[in-house]
């Protein structure tokens, strides 16, 4: 009688083992899914002869980084500068064992990028803006930026600005607030869009860095824009596209499509990278 029960016991044990393995797999899968950052991007050359925007993103055991650099089209070697900046940030990020003292990481990597660009220029003109975003495993956003590329968070149907543009208009606005010049003088200054800080020159002032990490919420979309996007579309136009509840890649492609449909005569290179927090 006992021998007859052995096959049933074996089958029963196998079933139990399979069930346990399925439960473990589901738990692991759920954890992977919960901790996921979904990435989307899009880019157009616009009316330029060369694509001077460069971007990249990578996930490591510590978190996710996205970097976007907009090589200055008015200067030579814009493509080289943007490529060096992004590549340097990605390489240095992958060397990190832990995401500690991110302020130091941003500062040191920016200086390294700037020095490498200057050396490659060898006396020629060139430079690039840069915006870098890191999301750690706890869902906190760390960031650094130089120039006029934009970093913002799309949450609850609207954009939350993170960085400020490093352009002469910011200096003019400070003078307006202090009463030194009029609002009209700010608006009509022909140099207001000129960059006052960027990677690729000896007077580089370092990145703007967040005073403290920003805690992201589930569904938040961290967005990196080159000025070819932000100068072509209004915030309202972008919000309409973002509120379509699509995946980051589809949103990014729709943003680029909207830029191209404007058919602007002097359309700049335009690039967007989106990081969506899924947990």
Residues 6+ apart with CB under 8 A from 1: none
d(CA 71, CA 51): 9
Residues listed for the chain: 279
pLDDT in tens, 79-123: 999 999 999 999 999 999 999 899 999 999 999 999 999 999 988
List, in order, residues 6 or more apart from 112 with CB less than 8 Å away: 88, 92
Least confident range from 81-90, 182-191, 240-249: namely: 182-191
Q: Quick one: tokens of 74?
A: 């008015």
Share of the chain above pLDDT 90, in %: 65
Q: How confident is the model at residue 227 (pLDDT cuts 50, 70, 90)?
A: very high
Secondary structure of residue 157 in the 3-state scheme: coil
CA dihedral 271→219→137→108, nearest 10 degrees, is 30
Average pLDDT, the chain: 88
Instruction: Determine contact, residues 98/55, Cβ cutoff 8 Å.
Output: no
**pLDDT level of residue 20 (50, 70, 90 thresholds):** confident
pLDDT, tens only, 74-83: 666 999 999 9
The answer to whether the CB of 41 falls within 8 A of the CB of 57 is yes
Residue 165 sits at φ, ψ, to 5 deg, of -75, 140
**Cα gap 177→87, rounded to integer Å:** 39
* Model confidence band, residue 31 (pLDDT cutoffs 50, 70, 90): very low
Phi, psi of 154 (to 5 degrees): -95, 115
Q: Which helix (H) or strand (E) holds 187?
A: helix 183-188
pTM for the model stands at: 0.83
Parallel/antiparallel/unpaired status of strands 37-44 and 150-155:
unpaired
Residue listed under structure tokens 């003078």: 175
- pLDDT of res. 107: 96
Please tell me the predicted confidence (pLDDT) of residue 201: 83
Structural domains in the chain, sorted by start: 36-277 (3.60.40.10)
Query: What is the pLDDT confidence band of residue 32, given thresholds at 50, 70 and 90?
Result: very low
DSSP letter string, 204-246: ----EE-SSPEEP-TT-EEEEE-HHHHTTS-HHHHHHHHTT--
Check residue 59 and give its pLDDT: 95
Pick from 150-154, 183-187, 245-249: least confident: 183-187
Percentage, residues of the chain above pLDDT 70? 87
């Amino acid at each position: 009688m006992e021998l007859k029960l052995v096959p049933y016991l074996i089958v029963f044990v196998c079933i139990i083992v399979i069930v346990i393995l399925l439960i473990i797999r589901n738990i692991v899968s759920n954890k992977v899914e919960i901790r996921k950052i979904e990435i989307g991007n899009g880019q157009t050359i616009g009316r330029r002869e060369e694509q001077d925007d460069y971007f990249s993103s990578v996930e490591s055991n510590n978190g996710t980084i996205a970097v976007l650099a907009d090589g200055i089209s008015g200067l030579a070697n814009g493509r080289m500068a943007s490529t060096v900046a992004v590549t340097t940030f990605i390489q240095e990020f992958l060397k990190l064992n832990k995401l500690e003292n991110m302020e130091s990481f941003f500062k040191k990597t920016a200086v390294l990028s700037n020095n490498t660009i200057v050396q490659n220029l060898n006396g020629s003109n060139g430079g690039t803006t840069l915006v870098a975003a890191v999301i750690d495993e706890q869902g906190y956003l760390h960031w650094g930026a130089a120039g006029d590329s934009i970093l913002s968070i799309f949450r609850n149907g609207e954009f939350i600005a993170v960085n400020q543009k490093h352009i002469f208009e910011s200096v003019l606005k400070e003078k307006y607030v202090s009463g030194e010049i009029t609002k009209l003088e700010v608006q009509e200054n022909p140099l207001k869009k000129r960059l006052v800080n960027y990677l690729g020159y000896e007077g580089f002032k370092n990145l703007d860095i967040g005073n403290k990490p920003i805690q992201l919420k589930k569904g938040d979309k961290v967005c990196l824009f080159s000025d070819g996007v932000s100068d072509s579309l209004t915030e309202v136009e972008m919000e309409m596209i973002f509120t379509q509840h699509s995946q980051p890649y589809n949103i990014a492609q729709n943003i680029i499509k909207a830029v191209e449909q404007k058919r602007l005569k002097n359309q700049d290179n335009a690039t967007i990278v989106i990081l969506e927090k899924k947990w």
